[in-house]
Amino acid sequence: MEQIQNSAATKIFASGNETTASNKNVVEDPQDRFLKLLVTQMQNQDPLNPLDNAEVTSQLAQISTVTGIDKLNDTLKLMVSDLDAMRSLEATSMIGHGVLIPGSAMKLEDNAAFAGIELSQPVDELVISIQDSSGIAIRNIELGAQSEGINTFVWDGVSDSGTVAANGNYSFTVSAKQGDKDISATTLSLTTVNSVSPDEKGAILDVGEFGFVGMSDIKQIF
């Protein structure tokens, strides 16, 4: 009986190999091959020693499980693809809006420069140091106690000497403390979203002179 079944199995797989060789673009469904093999085994079984029902049921359950997993994977891939497309579509609503992204640059226009800070925990002392294009500090702003998360500030363009700075590009650094302990702080720059492009990881946003950023880089939208 075993020799007959092995012979039948060999014929089925040989037939499958011939099909693959004649047409490499056609891939036979594993489930179909399994069913053909099972039917061949049943046709060539020994009437006095038929296939065990429990074994047949077990084999059917196994191939059903494998097929189910394959279909589930295909469904998940489709869902992820749809989700990425939806995120890209949602991201287009940010075009033309101002956003805060990690960065230390700030632009002074009409006596106002806007920027932000992201704090890892509350602080009781926060100091902003603004530098000109040469890296020289021209203004220190003490903001005092600030809460955890995103905090924003506006510089009016006035330097520590009392003079009004010219419009243009500046940079800033942050010093944050809780008691005597230095606290992690991330500087955030204000920019504008010009366009959105789809990407394997979601959406890529064109933010002008800051280049391209991902959705996870957007800390706040205005």
SS3 of the chain: helix, strand, coil, percent, to 5: 35, 35, 25
- Per DSSP bridges, beta strands 137-142 and 181-182 are unpaired
How does pLDDT run along the chain (222 residues), one tens digit per residue?
A: 444 444 444 443 444 454 444 444 444 566 677 667 767 766 666 565 666 666 666 766 676 676 667 666 766 666 555 555 566 667 888 999 999 999 999 999 999 999 999 999 999 999 999 999 999 999 999 999 999 999 999 999 999 999 999 999 999 999 999 999 999 999 999 999 999 988 776 789 999 999 999 988 999 999
Task: Report, in angstroms and rounded to the nearest whole number, the Rg of the chain calculated over CA atoms.
Answer: 33
* pLDDT on residue 81: 54
